[in-house]
Structure 1
Amino acid sequence: MHERTFPSSHVALVVGGRSPIGLGIAREFAARGAGRIAIAGRNEAQGRTCVDELARSLPRARFEFIAVDIADDASRHAMFGRIGEQFGGLDSYVHCVPPGAVSGALADAGLDRFRTSLLAGLGGLAGCCQEASDLLRARGGGSMLVFASDAGRIASPRNALVATVQSGIMALVRSLALELARDRIRVNGLSPTYVRDTPLFDRLMSNEGIARRIEKAAQRAGLGLPAPDDIAPLAVFLAGNAASKITGQIISINGGLSAA
């Protein structure tokens, strides 16, 4: 039985909420007492299926799906407008969008795809944070949690473009935390390396060379590589009052793979 953390009036928005990590966070919010949870993503049919499943397993909370393309200004604005008008405000914002940056050597990179990943990974994120902070400020404060990747923290070969996007996300989290502290808005980040039981992990494992690197990483991770259920409790803890003095922190969840 989960201890109640949030009042039933608590409103949470999880962008990228259709992913296994996002769904785990949405479930954890509901299990901890939050009354209204919106999950947002691109695929409306799959999103509504996810919401129906959540509602059946956690009937005390109200779940809704919002279709959004965060790289599109109008779509992003419509999502936050709906949260403000239909939900009455926002208390917790979680940005759980899977990384889409280009991997591989810089010499072989497709720069058009890299520009697209910059637009979504940094431009879309900045726009979401801007609009989320307006809603949180109107509510008297709250929390924002942004996902990055340890690729932005630890340099490795063939990851220059991934690292560029992810380190930019981390810099945004830290700077925004200082900007918004006086508004009682806390901004933190989580940065996994590899997360089992996710579509991204399965895609990586389908590449023989990458799979070998992951297997070596799993051997080095003394606690084992994390799964989505290992991430959700920390994510929701950072949104609650027990973390009221924690901001500007980026916490790595990698099972002991690194300690940077």
Structure 2
Amino acid sequence: MSSSSYKCRRFKNKVAIVTAGTKGIGLAIAERLGLEGASIVIGSRNQKNVDEAVAQLKTKGVKNVAGLAGDIGEEVEQKRLVDFTLQTFGKINILVNNHGINLSIGNILEVSHEEWNKLFNFNVISGFQMTKLVQPHIKNQGGGAIIFNASYSAYFSPPAFAAYAVTKTALVGLTRALAIGLAKDNIRVNGIAPGVVKTEMSRPLWEAGPEAERQIAELTGIALGRLGEPDDCAGAVAFLASDDANYVVGETMIIGGGAQARF
């Protein structure tokens, strides 16, 4: 992608924070918003990854981009990221809570109390806290958008990683609740629920090649017959963050290539 790939400039003069924005879906979201004119701040744990991602985004044509390393699960680091954004670009219009972790694979009854706490703190509570921090700043701009990255596993809790999926179900509920609470400020809160997307987390499912990918798609009921790409998610986020979605509130868009996942 390059800056010439998109003729629309839906985010000119807008500032967006993208958490976990150095790789995969987060990086694709940062690129898409940036190529449509937004000034971008990305956050991630590792400074080297942040620096590399900022350089990559600039190479792709994102003119205004900066990054800050920190643990988004820690309140002090959340505030640092928000303060850094205000110091760098002077305002906030869009927040993409893209971050998430999975600590446990296996029977849900074997998930420890400590693992539950870590999962909910990082996957759910930290996004809530980021929303509280940015709300007054987005409100001061006359409104804006907040998008959460959930997962289509939120709708059926696959046994192998059910604990992770439960936190994503909670995230769908949090999105709805915040949407009602912030609508009065003209802040639209929505979410995406990606299916199997080709990122590092899902690499074992697709690195064997196209035939393996086709088989996974068939087994998981993906009607399009292929796994998702990070850009598939980025386009959906760009829509939800833009004025094109100015009457879309409290929704979580499943991006699953036709895989059936509904409450």
Both proteins in one fold, TM over 0.5: yes
Q: 2:246 aligns with which of 244, 247, 255?
A: 244
CA-CA distance at 1:201 after TM superposition:
0.5
Structure 1 residue runs without a partner (length 5+): none
SS at match of 2:201: helix
Query: Aligned Cα RMSD in Å?
Result: 2.2
Q: Given the superposition, is the C-alpha separation of residues 8 and 116 from structure 1 closer, same or farther in structure 2, using an over 3 Å criterion? A: same
Following superposition, which runs of at least 4 residues in structure 1 exceed 4 angstroms of deviation? 203-206, 216-219
- Give the distance between the partners of 2:235 and 2:242, measured in 1 at CA: 11
Q: 1:42 aligns with which of 40, 45, 48?
A: 45
8 Å CA contact retained: 1:226, 1:254: yes
Which structure 2 residues correspond to residues 77-88 of structure 1 after superposition, within 5 A?
Answer: 77-88=79-90
1:25 aligns with 2:41: no
- Give the distance between the partners of 1:81 and 1:228, measured in 2 at CA: 28
TM-score (normalised: structure 2) = 0.88
Percent identity among equivalent residues?
25
CA-CA distance at 1:73 after TM superposition:
1.1
Equivalenced residues, count: 253
Indicate the larger mover: 64-73 or 147-156.
Answer: 147-156
Q: Given the superposition, is the C-alpha separation of residues 255 and 72 from structure 1 closer, same or farther in structure 2, using an over 3 Å criterion? A: same
Q: Given the superposition, is the C-alpha separation of residues 7 and 161 from structure 1 closer, same or farther in structure 2, using an over 3 Å criterion? A: closer
The amino acid across from 2:131 in the alignment is C
- Give the distance between the partners of 1:245 and 1:146, measured in 2 at CA: 17
1:54 is matched with 57
Deviations 1:145-186 (A, max 9, x none): 100112211244344312321111111100000000010000
CA-CA distance at 1:22 after TM superposition:
1.1
CA-CA distance at 1:218 after TM superposition:
5.2
2:221 is matched with 220
Which structure 2 residues correspond to residues 118-197 of structure 1 after superposition, within 5 A?
Answer: 118-196=120-198
- Give the distance between the partners of 2:221 and 2:76, measured in 1 at CA: 45
CA-CA distance at 1:48 after TM superposition:
0.5
8 Å CA contact retained: 1:192, 1:252: yes
8 Å CA contact retained: 1:220, 1:257: yes
- Give the distance between the partners of 2:130 and 2:46, measured in 1 at CA: 18
Q: 1:100 aligns with which of 76, 99, 102?
A: 102
The amino acid across from 1:21 in the alignment is I
- Give the distance between the partners of 2:113 and 2:140, measured in 1 at CA: 39
CA-CA distance at 1:205 after TM superposition:
6.3
